[in-house]
Amino acid sequence: MATDLDKMLSSTTPAQLAGDPIMRAAFIAGLMASDIFIPVMESEAEQANSGGVSLMAIPVEDVPHVLLFSSEKALRKFASTGQRFAKVSGLNLFPNLMGQNAILNPGPKGLKLTPKDIAQINGKSANSTGQPAIPHGAPGHVHGPGCRH
């Protein structure tokens, strides 16, 4: 069964999102209200010891991009059956991705998100790509490819 986010992604293109501010605003609202599936790198015990979750990233043109998926089905098309993942609302995830690059549903129809895009998703200015909302060591911190530890 397709999620609302899957339906939204199938009915738009990156060019439409870039060229239509109303469609982009609606997409951002839908993205923030949706559950996002993210592959994680360690076990629950390792997460507890590190004080957060390390997200998987892949290089796209030599730049690490955090992997995001619109559904468990989309994640399973990309990752193995045993891959651990977390399901988190966009509202809780995207503030932690400030300053990062990400890709939603990697592949030919994947949507690349730049730090500028992520700032806009979070309602910030294009120059406001600062630090994640939850600092390192605090419960729930997301270790992205830009963490310096």
pTM (2 decimals)? 0.76
Express each pLDDT in 2-25 by its tens digit.
788 888 888 888 788 778 888 888
Rounded CA Rg of the chain:
15
127 has which bridge partners? none
Beta bridge partners of 123: none
CA distances from 48 to 79, 103, 131 (A): 23, 26, 21
pLDDT, tens digit (0-9, with 9 covering 90-100), for 82-117: 788 889 999 999 998 999 999 999 988 888 899 998
pLDDT, mean of residues 109-130:
78
pLDDT confidence band for 51 (50 / 70 / 90): low
Boundaries of every domain in the chain: 4-123
**Is domain 4-123 classified as CATH 3.40.50?**
no
What is the C-alpha separation between 3 and 90, in angstroms, rounded? 14
